[in-house]
Amino acid sequence: MDSLQSYLVIAAILFSMGIYGVITRKNAVAILMGIELILNSANINFIAFNRFGGLNTLDGHVFAIFVIVLAAAEAAVALAIIINLFKNIDSVDVSDADILKG
């Protein structure tokens, strides 16, 4: 528990899971969940490097706060877009949203 590598491995697993979810899911809300996993893994890395990097300041924590704020903004806007998509094409399947396709 007191080694940098264990946290980095957990973050790597979370990141790969998020990437897999973003690529394979067809439901827009499920893609959003994958993005949340990716942002969480980045946060774990920030905090772990701040703890084990021998820094005397807490810059990693401040970065993590900014990431959390951006995740909140992103979730709000993404859900507004998804609800509009549902109103317009009656589906949240991203492969149905192909109106702009030539």
Residues numbered 46 to 65 that lie near another protein (CB under 8 A) are 47-48, 50-54, 56-59, 61-62, 64-65
Could you say whether residue 89 binds another protein (CB under 8 A)? no
If we measure between CA atoms, which residue out of 90, 4, 89 comes closest to residue 45?
4
Residue from 5, 89, 99, 102 binding another protein (CB under 8 A): 5
Could you say whether residue 20 binds another protein (CB under 8 A)? yes
Q: How many CB atoms lie within 10 A of CB 54?
A: 7
- In DSSP terms, which residues pair with 27 in a beta bridge? 93
Could you say whether residue 12 binds another protein (CB under 8 A)? yes
